[in-house]
């Protein structure tokens, strides 16, 4: 048997498939009307009469080895309690129970508290970097990884987690590419909400997924230059697969979704009317007017279902091509269910090939499957106690960073996991994580001291967060309606040549604002001058103020229709001479909008009085003088309140408070500790015990119940004691299932 496994490994290495498809970049399509498309050819080869399916093989009962194999392929690892439930069932009964568990599954994944309790900070990113103010963006990813990993380890429905990982790879987005915390978290939420639901609903959601929109640059799409990335990858990698659509199908779809963008403050989906291409579009020889109609055309495409069915076959059955009959069967079952994902999974597991004795050890474990599957099978995190961060690090070291796939095509697949030194790395490193298992290690004095230190750090973090939030609430409660109150403000950009530049703007962002009884998550505004512009004086604003649609939430203006459209991203912008000048369009806005503009300009006295906290302004004397002149034009008189005269502007915190600042303020907190979270708390929390069977001495073993060595490598049918069984973690066959 060992020789047989070695032969399989050799074949896997020598028959390595070509590398995954690379992300194609920002191709731009023509905007010249609705391009003609062609009706696709019929696919009789994908039609199967379901009543003709021979299901007699499903009447066979599962042995303990069948049960191990079934659990390893539908879930993650082979915990004894999970394996035991399948023994003695018929194959049909096992499938039905697995699908029933999915139907009754309640996802235990909990989004970190910052997702709902904190506004993103990416719209101020330039200013934060300029002031060297760290928000610990990578820690946001770590909290998401911890939440997802915890659910993989503790779930009682591992078949859901396998589906979620499959779709996470299918709709591939990398966190570190853009560091969009909330848009990525929303992407994960969409993945998990749809993983065992309806495929058409899932595909529809991808067009409104802010993480996908950002990753594929659709927020830069315009009517004149629709970006093709999302349209192309939707057809090639999400729905139909290469060869089942035309370039015109892509170009028309790019136009249809050109208005799909994000709000830069909230990082959530926003439809921009100025970017919408009006009219009807053509796909596959038929017209559609909206995304829902397009999805209907997709569902009626003769080839739809094949691409996704092949992915399921490669995930659950084998790496080789499915037979024509098997492919037709699972595609037909998928189609006739209305494209329900659970129906596709059930049909895939019902294939005779799935259960074939000759089809053992034909799938390669991904690093996540390998590492987390081992944790689940052993029921312990090994030498690392309850801290599961090492598991994410180990999987990344083996080539699979949970939330950072290499490109839009996703992670490597199958044989690609074992190229180069990857196999050797697995064989030598994995066993070391589980050497000398001590399930009672928490009693160790050094571990106890570490836990005590961690608990103190958590308590300190929570206390600092509590004080910050308490003081922030008092700050907002102390203000009046006509006072402009903001948690912080950031200067994103000032040109070095402000005095001589044709169009010189000071880009400023405000975070968490209260004014006139309204709340804003954030506002970005530009103050500037075009006095040096080479155009007629009558066309100049001279001193001006401007906003971009989508750069505040909610919108600062009721409408932007009297503004202009950006050539770069298609968003509407609005500008006016301000506070004085030849083109004072602001006077046509409401009194509240005019007062907001006045307060925004008055706010600039804060950086002028605290120059050492605003480096960009500190170094730019010309910009300082220009701002002082503008503030003098609007004045900075105190306003009457119930508590007497007060300043019209109040800012709670600054990015820094260097020595010499005139006004001492708290330091702005934009890290995960803001909501009472800390990495020590996330990675140090105790995981509930996964199984009561493994205690280093005994592992239930009877004629019908496997021992540990059989759970780890059933193909060898060994009877090792538990310490000997751990050596199998470095066996070539343990890389397969």
Nearest to 253 by CA among 285, 224, 288: 288
Identify whether 691 is part of a domain. no
Phi, psi torsion values for 574, nearest 5 degrees: -140, 135
Residue 736 reports pLDDT greater than 50:
yes
pLDDT one-digit tens code per residue, 286-328 = 999 999 999 999 999 999 999 999 999 999 999 999 999 999 9
Q: What is the mean pLDDT of residues 531-549?
A: 89
Mean pLDDT of the chain: 89
What CA–CA distance (Å, rounded) separates 239 from 304?
7
- Map tokens 């999400």 to a residue: 238
Residue 19 reports pLDDT greater than 90:
no
Identify whether 258 is part of a domain. no
Nearest to 653 by CA among 485, 516, 521, 493: 485
State how many domains the chain has: 1
Name the least confident of 369-373, 391-395, 671-675, 704-708: 704-708
The answer to whether the Cα torsion of 139, 145, 151, 152 is positive or negative is negative
Identify whether 538 is part of a domain. yes
Q: What is the mean pLDDT of residues 242-252?
A: 97
Residue 458 reports pLDDT greater than 90:
no
Identify whether 671 is part of a domain. no
Q: Collapse the DSSP code of 155 into the 3-class scheme (helix H, G, I; strand E, B; otherwise coil) and give the result.
A: coil
Identify whether 571 is part of a domain. yes
Phi, psi torsion values for 378, nearest 5 degrees: -80, -25
Identify whether 575 is part of a domain. yes
pLDDT bin (cut points 50, 70, 90) of residue 448 is low
Q: What are the Cα distances from residue 375, in Å, to 83, 552, 694?
A: 15, 45, 12
pTM to 2 decimals? 0.92
What CA–CA distance (Å, rounded) separates 728 from 231?
46
What CA–CA distance (Å, rounded) separates 307 from 332?
13
What does the pLDDT read at residue 449?
A: 54
Phi, psi torsion values for 599, nearest 5 degrees: -65, -40
What does the pLDDT read at residue 684?
A: 54
Identify whether 620 is part of a domain. yes
What does the pLDDT read at residue 665?
A: 86
What CA–CA distance (Å, rounded) separates 605 from 599?
10
CB contact at 8 A, 547 and 558: no
Identify whether 6 is part of a domain. no
Domain with 490, as residue range(s), is: 478-662
Phi, psi torsion values for 287, nearest 5 degrees: -95, 150
pLDDT one-digit tens code per residue, 65-118 = 999 999 999 999 999 999 999 999 999 999 999 999 999 999 999 999 999 999
Strand duo 649-651 + 484-493: pairing? parallel
pLDDT one-digit tens code per residue, 565-587 = 988 888 999 999 999 999 999 99
CB contact at 8 A, 679 and 140: no
Q: Which two tokens stand for residue 92?
A: 């049909």
CB contact at 8 A, 623 and 506: yes
Q: Collapse the DSSP code of 125 into the 3-class scheme (helix H, G, I; strand E, B; otherwise coil) and give the result.
A: helix
What does the pLDDT read at residue 555?
A: 97
CB contact at 8 A, 76 and 152: yes
């Amino acid at each position: 048997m060992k020789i047989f496994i070695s032969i399989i490994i050799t074949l896997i290495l020598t028959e390595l498939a070509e590398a995954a498809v690379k992300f194609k970049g920002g191709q731009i399509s023509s905007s010249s009307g609705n391009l003609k498309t062609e009706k696709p050819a019929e696919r009789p080869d994908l039609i199967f009469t379901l009543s003709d399916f021979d299901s007699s093989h499903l009447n066979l009962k599962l042995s303990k080895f069948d049960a191990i194999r079934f659990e390893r392929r539908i879930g993650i690892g082979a915990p004894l309690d999970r394996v035991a439930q399948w023994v003695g069932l018929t194959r049909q009964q096992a499938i039905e129970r697995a699908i029933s568990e999915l139907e009754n599954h309640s996802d235990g994944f909990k989004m970190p508290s910052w997702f709902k309790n904190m506004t993103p900070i990416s719209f101020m990113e330039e200013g934060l970097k300029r002031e060297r103010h760290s928000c610990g963006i990578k820690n946001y990813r770590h909290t998401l990884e911890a939440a997802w990993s915890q659910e993989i380890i503790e779930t009682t429905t591992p078949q859901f987690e396998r589906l979620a990982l499959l779709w996470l790879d299918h709709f591939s987005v990398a966190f570190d590419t853009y560091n969009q915390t909330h848009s990525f978290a929303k992407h994960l939420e969409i993945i998990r909400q749809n993983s065992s639901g309806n495929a058409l609903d899932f595909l529809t959601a991808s067009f409104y997924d802010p993480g996908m929109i950002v990753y594929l640059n659709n927020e830069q799409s315009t009517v004149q230059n629709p970006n093709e990335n999302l349209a192309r990858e939707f057809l090639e990698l999400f729905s139909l697969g290469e060869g089942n659509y035309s370039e015109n199908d892509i170009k028309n779809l790019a136009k249809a979704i050109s208005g799909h963008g994000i709000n830069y403050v909230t990082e959530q989906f926003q439809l921009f009317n100025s970017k919408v291409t009006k009219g009807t579009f053509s796909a596959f020889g038929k017209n559609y007017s909206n995304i829902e109609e397009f999805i209907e055309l997709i569902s009626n495409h003769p080839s739809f279902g094949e691409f996704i069915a092949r992915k399921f076959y490669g995930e659950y059955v084998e790496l080789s091509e499915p037979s024509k009959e098997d492919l037709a069967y699972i595609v037909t079952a998928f189609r006739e269910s209305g494209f329900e994902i659970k129906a596709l999974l059930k049909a895939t597991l019902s294939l005779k090939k799935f259960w074939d004795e000759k089809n053992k050890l034909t799938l390669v474990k991904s690093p996540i499957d390998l590492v987390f599957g081992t944790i689940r099978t052993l029921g312990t995190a090994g030498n690392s106690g309850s801290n599961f961060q090492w598991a994410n690090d180990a999987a990344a070291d083996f080539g699979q960073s949970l939330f950072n796939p290499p490109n839009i095509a996703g992670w490597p697949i199958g044989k690609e996991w074992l190229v180069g030194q990857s196999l050797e790395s697995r064989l030598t490193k994995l066993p070391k994580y589980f050497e000398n298992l001590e399930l009672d290690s928490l009693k160790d004095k050094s571990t106890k001291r570490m836990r005590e230190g961690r608990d103190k750090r958590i308590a300190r973090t929570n206390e600092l967060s509590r004080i910050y939030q308490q003081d922030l609430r008092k700050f907002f409660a102390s203000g009046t309606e006509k006072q402009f109150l903001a948690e912080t403000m950031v200067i994103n950009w000032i040109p070095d040549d402000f005095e001589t530049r044709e169009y010189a703007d000071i880009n400023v962002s405000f975070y968490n604002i209260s004014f006139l009884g309204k709340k804003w998550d954030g506002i970005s505004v530009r103050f500037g001058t075009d006095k040096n512009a080479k155009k007629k004086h009558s066309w100049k604003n001279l001193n001006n103020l401007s906003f971009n649609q989508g750069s505040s939430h909610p919108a600062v203006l009721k409408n932007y229709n009297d503004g202009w459209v950006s050539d770069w991203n298609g968003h509407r912008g609005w500008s006016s001479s301000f506070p004085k000048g030849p083109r004072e369009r602001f006077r046509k806005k409401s009194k509240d909008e005019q007062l907001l503009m006045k307060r925004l300009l008055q706010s600039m006295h804060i950086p002028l009085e605290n120059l050492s906290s605003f480096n960009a302004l500190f170094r730019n004397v010309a910009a300082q003088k220009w701002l002082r002149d503008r503030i003098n034009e609007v004045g900075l008189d105190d306003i009457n309140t119930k508590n007497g005269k007060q300043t019209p502007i109040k800012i709670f915190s600054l990015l820094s408070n260097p020595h010499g600042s005139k006004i001492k303020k708290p330091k702005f907190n934009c890290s995960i500790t803001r909501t009472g979270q800390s990495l020590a708390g996330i990675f140090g929390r105790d995981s509930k015990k996964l199984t009561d069977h493994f205690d280093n001495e005994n592992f239930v073993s009877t004629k019908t119940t496997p021992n540990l060595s059989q759970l780890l490598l059933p193909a060898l049918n060994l009877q090792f004691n538990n310490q000997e069984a751990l050596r199998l973690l470095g066996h070539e066959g343990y890389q397969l299932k």
